[in-house]
Amino acid sequence: MKKHIKIFDTTLRDGEQTPRVNLNTQEKLRIAKQLESLGVDVIEAGFAVASPGDFESVKLIAENIEKSTVTSLARAVKKDIEVAAEAVKNAKKPRIHTFIATSPIHREYKLKMTKEQILDRVKEMVSYAKSFIDDIEFSSEDATRTEKEFLVEVYETAIKAGATTLNVPDTVGYRTPNEMFELITYLKKNVKGIENVDISVHCHDDLGLSVANSVAAIQAGATQIECTINGLGERAGNTSLEEIAMILKTRKDLFEEYYTNIDSKQIYPTSKLVSLLTGVSTQPNKAIVGANAFAHESGIHQHGVLANPETYEIMSPESVGRNPDSLVLGKHSGKHAFVQKLESLGFNHVGSDRVEELFAQFKKLADKKKYVLDEDIIALVAGEAAKI
């Protein structure tokens, strides 16, 4: 039987920690709905205790998402857990994600707590979270710089207190793929009860290894990957969802035994929507979603691709929801081309009345601009998000 790799998207929490990114409640809801269409298993909707706005966003998302689990982050303190529980309580599938740092440097300088105090806190707070909701994720912040033996104690305590997912964050993006593989293998071997829970990894990209580390973790037995759209996140960002999903899909020879629920055709529309709403564009050479990811510049490459795209493409642009012929729209374009463009951008559930309105807006815009770009079309639709 194939193994399900759960995709936990934290664009709305860690992704929002990208410097200068600030999303309002409606923008967050719009992204959450798109993440649901993309097929993510878990949406981390925010950090409910952080601000009244974050609480409202998590609550609204919890109330409006049908298929994905919705979670809020909470430090391992009572107040955070209470607020997170309140924010997600109306979700079809609610989860609380609670965490505490465990590494020596965090224990000494940030928490000023002993190992024993940390273990007591994990026991008490995971049990407390469990008294509200059944689905509890526990994260050991800076796990990858924590003594392995202590990490085993921490995770065993969390399991006994009711955690259903154990997350192993590489908080400062320090580890290499081999080390990540060894750590997950070690935990699987030594943590009692680990076979009954999901093992998750949450990798940061400080050394550019977050995706490689996540892949190594899957090969060692991790069953959940935490990631963000376009790799957004604190500092250098998090694991890119699009890269993980396409590695598993494209390298079937290596990953035959795994599957995700990601609808890869929704990857590009999701990436574009997140860029538009966060104001953070992807670099042109970004894998999968960058402007040049499927562009062939040299004559030799163009010749090869025209003869057979597989000469220089290991996946098709269509498979990630990109339009291979990049239809350019302008004021002379008709409704047929406009609808085709909407569909190629993943907006195929727009009703006919909405198409009429959007088409009229597009014509006004086309009068002002020589070419109307994909970004402009996405902006038109996103402005009307609530009616889709």
Q: Given the rule CB under 6 A, which of 29-37, 63-71, 166-174, 374-382 is the region that contacts ligand KIV?
A: 166-174
The residues, any chain, with a CB within 8 Å of residue 84's CB and separated by 6 or more, are 48, 49, 58, 71, 72, 73, 74, 96, 97, 98, 129
Taking the complex as a whole, how short is the minimal distance between the CB of residue 165 and ligand KIV, in angstroms?
11
* Residue 325 annotated in ligand binding: no
CB 168 to ligand KIV: min, Å: 9
Q: Give the distance, in angstroms, between the CA of residue 78 and the centroid of all CA atoms in the same chain.
A: 27
Alpha-carbon distance of 381 to 388, in angstroms, equals: 8
Q: How far is the CB of 99 from ligand KIV (least distance, A)?
A: 5
Burial of 290 (C-beta count, 10 Å sphere; 0-12/13-18/19+): middle
Residue 296 in marked binding region? no
Q: Which two tokens stand for residue 134?
A: 């059944």
> In whole angstroms, what is the distance from residue 69 CA to residue 10 CA?
12
Report whether 308 belongs to an annotated binding site. no
Which of these segments, 85-93, 165-173, 184-192, 297-305, binds ligand KIV (CB under 6 A)?
Answer: 165-173
Q: Does 98 bind ligand KIV (CB under 6 A)?
A: no
- Residue pair 48/58 in contact (Cβ under 8 Å)? The answer is yes
Q: Please tell me whether residue 3 adopts helix, strand or coil conformation.
A: strand
Using CB under 6 A as the binding rule, whether residue 141 contacts ligand KIV is answered as: yes
Residue 97 known to bind ligand: no
Q: What angle do CA 127, 188, 171 make, to 5 degrees?
A: 70
Member of 60, 71, 72, 99 binding ligand KIV (CB under 6 A) = 99
Report how far residue 62's alpha carbon sits from residue 32's, in angstroms, rounded to the nearest whole number.
10
What would the x/- binding string for ligand KIV be over residues 168 to 187, using CB under 6 A?
-x-x----------------
Measured in degrees and rounded to the nearest 5, phi and psi for residue 299 equal -60, -40
Binders of Zn ion in range 2-41 (CB under 5 A)? 14
Number of residues that bind ligand KIV (CB under 6 A): 9
Residue of 59, 93, 202, 272 that binds ligand KIV (CB under 6 A) = 202
Binding residues for Mn(2+): 14, 202, 204, 238
Q: Which residues bind Zn ion (CB under 5 A)?
A: 14
